[in-house]
Amino acid sequence: MSENSDSSTSENSGGTGRKDITVVHLMRHGEVHNPDGVLYGRRPGYHLSELGRQMADRVAEHLEKRDITHVVASPLERAQETATPIAKAHGLDLATDGRLIEAANVFEGKTFGVGDGALRKPDNWKHLTNPFRPSWGEPYVEQVVRMMGALDAARDAARGHEAVCVSHQLPIWIVRSFVERRRLWHDPRKRQCTLASLTSFTYQGDKIVSVGYSEPARDLVPAHLLAGAKPVKGASKGFGA
């Protein structure tokens, strides 16, 4: 399997050009309005910020000439709102797949920042005992199973064409790590999955043959939220991403 950290072959042409080639783009949603820095997780009521809507529009424009025949999203509002302009640009109905939802997390509804919040409370330390599973949320293996199911379903819906699946940072990173045969436990600060980014899986038949990554809205992403950026105390946070 080949990997390109900037773009995949599918990002450089208007379509696959081959009936046995299908591309499924896993997109992370845009920025969310979350002034209090809450880890919102699966909680309803968290919508895109104005900047997040700009990110969604930017990616829709980026993909406008692509051979997109299927657009599907997590049921959470921020994912639905990110996917809507992409579906509209291609004249498609937006589908929903619950398997694309954010990972469950025991810290949902709490602040979880640098030097403050949930980590400073001893009652929460029991949830931090096993980073390999992890002990604070949905097991990584379960995320792989559901995300691979969602990817394969999107592949089947767009055979010979391209699909866009809007999901969330952790599930996207975990399924990419699985496909690229990396360990599932990791340093969250090193995830390559920026807001409104595309992680693109190219299938030949039913087999994934390459993975690509691109950031069409990179110039809109606040510097402290880019992949690999150091946390900034007091800055707006992309929790529950």
Tell me: the pLDDT tens digits for 167-224? 999 999 999 999 999 987 767 777 899 999 999 999 999 999 999 999 999 999 999 8
- Assigned domain for 235 exists: no
Cβ contacts of residue 133 below 8 Å, gap of 6+?
139, 140
Which residues of the chain register pLDDT less than 50? Answer: 2, 5-10, 12-13, 118, 124-127, 129-130, 132, 234-239
CB 41 within 8 A of CB 108: yes
Q: Cα angle at 26 between 146 and 71, to 5 degrees?
A: 95
* CA distances for 195 relative to 80, 106, 201, 221, angstroms: 14, 23, 18, 7
- Assigned domain for 238 exists: no
Q: Say how far apart CA 61 and CA 64 lie, in whole Å.
A: 5
- Assigned domain for 203 exists: yes
- Assigned domain for 233 exists: no
- Assigned domain for 173 exists: yes
Whether residue 134 has a cis bond before it, omega within 30° of 0: yes
Domain count, the chain: 1
CB 39 within 8 A of CB 108: yes
- Assigned domain for 182 exists: yes
Give the pLDDT confidence score for residue 238 in this predicted structure: 47
CB 209 within 8 A of CB 188: no
- Assigned domain for 236 exists: no
Q: Is 229 exposed, middle or buried (0-12, 13-18, 19+ CB in 10 A)?
A: middle
- Assigned domain for 177 exists: yes
pTM of the model: 0.83
CB 66 within 8 A of CB 15: yes
CB 39 within 8 A of CB 239: yes
CB 166 within 8 A of CB 72: yes
Number of other CB atoms surrounding residue 4 within 10 Å: 15
CATH of the domain at 99: 3.40.50.1240
Structure tokens at 147: 């995300």
Q: What is residue 71's three-state secondary structure?
A: strand
Give the pLDDT confidence score for residue 53 in this predicted structure: 99
Domain of residue 93 covers: 2-225
